[in-house]
Amino acid sequence: MSAGRLVTVAVALGERGYDVLVGEGASDELASLLATRVPAARQAAVVTDESVAAAPWFARVDPGLPYDVHTVAPGERAKTVAGAEALCRAFARSGLTRHDVVVAVGGGVVTDLAGFAAASYHRGTAYCTVATSLLCQVDAGIGGKTGVDLPEGKNLMGAFWQPVGVLCDTALLESMPAREWASGRGEMAKYTFLGAPDLPDLALEEQVARCAALKAAMVGVDEREGGRRVLLNYGHTLAHALEAVALDADVDLRHGEAVAIGLVYAALLARRLGRIGDERVAFHREVVGRFGLSPCLPDDLAEVEKKELLSYMARDKKASHDLAFVLDGPRGVELVHGVAPEDALGALEELACT
């Protein structure tokens, strides 16, 4: 349903439920949202990154409360335990209480980091998300998964902590760099296989709203990823491994770019396991291509040791002392445990582009 020109997507979690507002001007609803959802708040902590803070529109962000701005470095390297500690210490110095609110203004890195800091500060302080990237609007900002990276892997420390609301202002995407568009489109490609086969044909606002609705539906029935929500990790097992290796090697690889590669890899692995055929693999490549993404490893990572990627994938949060992947199959996309290492390595060999 819609409220004025905005589309409202409900995340149905009872007392922890909230709305995702999608459309041009959604960020203008911030003060109203906080007044309704956090009426006892007397102060806000606005967390953003340096690039967002420099945008001309950032000065118009208005939580309707006195607030301090806490700025972090852009990029995945900001998502650390030390980064979360620094935010919490800054909250304490500014006098933020557990009755106040944290406002995350940015993309997925900012919302992951600020959300985790909010979940930790005073054992849980309310937070709200103003999603400024396509990736954050279609996926990362919704669902309450917060966290930071460890040297051993991505998102290995975190908490489920639902926001009080998510504002997806599509007008804020107009100045987004091309690589950030690619990152968001990688997540969109994932949703094509999770219930939105017509997604590439829709207008931008429809795409964002459809992705938000699909994620909200999964979160509503499986908040803590004990069942169906794990399907949202389609393409992510290899993607997270690639991101970890890229971070170590100082290679610029965006999350959605890695997911696009991971989707094609998952299709190749599913074919090796006899779950799908050649036509379905070709369809994965087609979808990735329609979103303007490449299924190939970046040149800087083409020579990475396959066993190194395998070790990262074995530490994935879906694993239970085995290799586990979300894979396509005759019943659709589902979680598959007990994948043999030789099959996982074989699919990596098939992924190489010549």
Could you list the active site residues? Answer: 123, 145, 187, 215, 225, 229, 233, 236, 240, 255
- Residue 122: count other Cβ atoms within 10 Å of its Cβ: 15
- Rg of the chain over all Cα atoms, to the nearest angstrom: 20
CA distance 117 to 104: 10
Asked whether the beta carbons of 36 and 58 are under 8 A apart, the reply is no
Of the candidates 87, 20, 97, which has an alpha carbon nearest to the alpha carbon of residue 66?
97
CA distance 114 to 340: 37
Phi, psi angles (nearest 5°) of residue 175 = -100, 15
Phi, psi angles (nearest 5°) of residue 157 = -125, 125
Phi, psi angles (nearest 5°) of residue 42 = -120, -5
Mapped onto helix, strand or coil, the DSSP state of residue 270 is helix
- List alpha helices for the chain, DSSP H: 30-37, 50-53, 81-94, 108-120, 134-135, 178-192, 204-221, 236-249, 255-272, 278-290, 306-314, 341-351
Those residues with Cβ within 8 angstroms of residue 10's Cβ, 6 or more apart along the chain or in another chain: 17, 18, 19, 20, 216
Per-residue burial over 240-271, b if 16 or more Cβ lie within 10 Å, else e, is bbbbbbbbeeeeebbbbbbbbbbbbbbbbbbb
**Angle, nearest 10°, between helix axes 306-314 and 236-249?**
120
CA 204 to chain centre: 18
Q: How far is CA 183 from CA 34, 79, 180, in A?
A: 29, 17, 5
